Amino acid sequence: MPRFSANLSWLFTELPFMERFRVAKDAGFDAVEVLFPYDCPAQDMRDQLIWNDLTFVLMNCPPPNATGGPQGFAAIPGLQDRFRRDFDRSLRFADVLKPLHLHIMAGSTDAPDARATFVENLKWAAARAPNRSLTIEPINRHDMPGYYLADFDLAAEILDEVEAPNLSLQFDAYHAHRITGDVMRAWVTHGPRASHVQIAGYPGRHEPAVGEIDYPSFFARLDRDGYKGWVSAEYKPASDTASGLGWLKS
């Protein structure tokens, strides 16, 4: 059975942020991820991780724009300098929080040179942080309109073009099913590139217990394929978080 982590940006939101670490541990999670951990002191979060014996799995890059700008712009032409400045900001947080992975968000664009920009920025980032595990994640355009990286084949091509040992695929089963209609086939084709997995039910993006995705079979496939990374629960609880954790206990 895979090792499960809790996404504290989505789960236990009934509680103040700093209380979610302890509650996640009490619920049975041994790891957590936070999408944008930039609004709290990094050392305070690190203390919570240590006190609750939690592995910090993943955070997103770059920090969100407080003025309502895009969440991610690594593929947006003309913003290379900004990407590099904000990537360094993320590294300063990562130096304290020590995530296993840093997810680089492509951003929303249909510019003809978006791919070249994305590859350029990824090569730079991989060289800038050679000891950091970096990921890219295909995200469906229903949930995030216009997102550049919305195709798993494109992600594979970009990984091959960048050819960096510290850059890999972030495989979100919910996004994979919405993009391809067949999460298992997407995993068989692209899973070997994945260093991190995220899950949610489809449709609705609620608990991974009901819906079109057969998660027991998916988890069994991860085991058969020898996947050793974490599987993060990144979903919108249908009610309060604790009431929906039957899938984890079973």
Place of tokens 């999670």: 29
d(CA 239, CA 226): 34
Residue 212 is among the residues annotated as catalytic for this protein: no
Residue among 14, 120, 137, 163 flagged as catalytic: 137
Task: Report the helix count and the strand count for the chain, using DSSP H and E.
Answer: 9, 9
What's the per-residue H, E or C state across 95-146? HHHCCCEEEECCCECCCCCHHHHHHHHHHHHHHHCCCCEEEECCCCCCCCCC
DSSP assignment string, 220-236 = HHHHHTT--SEEEE---
Residue 19 is among the residues annotated as catalytic for this protein: no
Residue 23 in tokens = 């509650």
d(CA 188, CA 243): 32
| HSE-CB for 223 with a 13 A CA cutoff | 10
Residue among 14, 19, 163, 234 flagged as catalytic: 234
- Active-site positions? 137, 234
